[in-house]
Structure 1
Amino acid sequence: MASHHPIMTLDELTAFLDREFPQIHLGGRTYFVDEIGPLTARMRMDYHERHLRPGGTISGPAMMALADLALYAAILAHIGPVALAVTTSLNFNFLRKPEPRALVAHCRLLKLGKRLAVGEVSISSEGSADVVCHATGTYSIPDRR
């Protein structure tokens, strides 16, 4: 079973994401892992016009990507660099319009087993406590034999 404490450092996790998923930085780096802790991770998505939808608000797909990436980062920090851990389900509740600034995703793992991980992500506009999006997700963890 995975540890409740991260086994990857913030620098190791960032290097892994940069190496294995360079496509998340196409057009310039906007995603940053800010912190990892016991069963938690915090990510930031800088405000950029490529994340906007008509009407000038940050798009749902941009928030969905941030939540999925935060969940993936939290899991990897605790199980190690397993590139083939994959999303099996995601559920989103968009609660209010985000402010036109960076978004911060706070992820908490609810279950971290040998084969499945379940977590929740709360996304807020940077500097605000108001949650703009709440997500839950499940990841399948491949057999590590």
Structure 2
Amino acid sequence: MPAALMMDRDAVAAFLDEAFPQIHHGGPGPVVESVGPMSATMRLPYHERHLRPGGTISGPAMMGLADVALYVAILGQIGPVALAVTTNLSFNFMRKPAPADLLAEARLLKLGRSLAVGEVLIRSQGQDDLVCHATGTYAIPPK
């Protein structure tokens, strides 16, 4: 059973704004929608800075969204640890995203003392089908 949340949605959003102010440069960045036990939901607002030729949301934009969604889920559990870092990410791009916001649902599968493992499901807003499935591992620094 996961421990009580160390940070709620507002605390995580404030921490991201303070520790990573560059996340919003050039247009809207990812938005923390919710933080729950071993989980988080993020939104990437549809914006031209996230598009690739052909007018679809780019793979790198989805990769960044998945990465930050896992990070937010971890922060909710362990608190404001800026140096928890990505050690592995794997992506399966499943279909072209619709021209809409992207929603990422992150779920931690394991949260240990030094590693966290999770998955992220990304959908276009208003769509049920996945556009991307990601798995990732984060290293958590010693206390």
Q: Deviations over 1:100-141 (max 9, x none)?
A: 010000000000010000000000001111100000000000
- Report the identity percentage: 64
Secondary structure, in 3 states, of the residue corresponding to 2:86?
Answer: strand
Find the aligned partners of 2:83 and 2:114 in 1 and give their Cα distance: 12
Q: Deviations over 1:15-72 (max 9, x none)?
A: 0000000111002333100011111100000000000000111000000000000000
Secondary structure, in 3 states, of the residue corresponding to 1:143?
Answer: coil
Secondary structure, in 3 states, of the residue corresponding to 1:76?
Answer: helix
Report the alpha carbon displacement of residue 11 of structure 1 after superposing the two structures with TM: 0.9
TM-score when scaled to structure 2?
A: 0.97
Residue aligning to 1:61: 60
Structure 1 runs of 4+ aligned residues shifted over 6 Å read: none
Residue aligning to 1:32: 31
- Residues 107 and 122, structure 1, Cα contact 8 Å, conserved in 2: yes
TM-score when scaled to structure 1?
A: 0.95
Unmatched tracts of structure 1, length 5 or more: none
User: Given the superposition, is the C-alpha separation of residues 4 and 120 from structure 1 closer, same or farther in structure 2, using an over 3 Å criterion?
Assistant: farther
Find the aligned partners of 2:126 and 2:105 in 1 and give their Cα distance: 13
- Residues 5 and 37, structure 1, Cα contact 8 Å, conserved in 2: no
Please report the RMSD computed on the Cα atoms of aligned residues, expressed in angstroms: 1.2
1:25-104 to 2 correspondences below 5 Å: 25-104=24-103
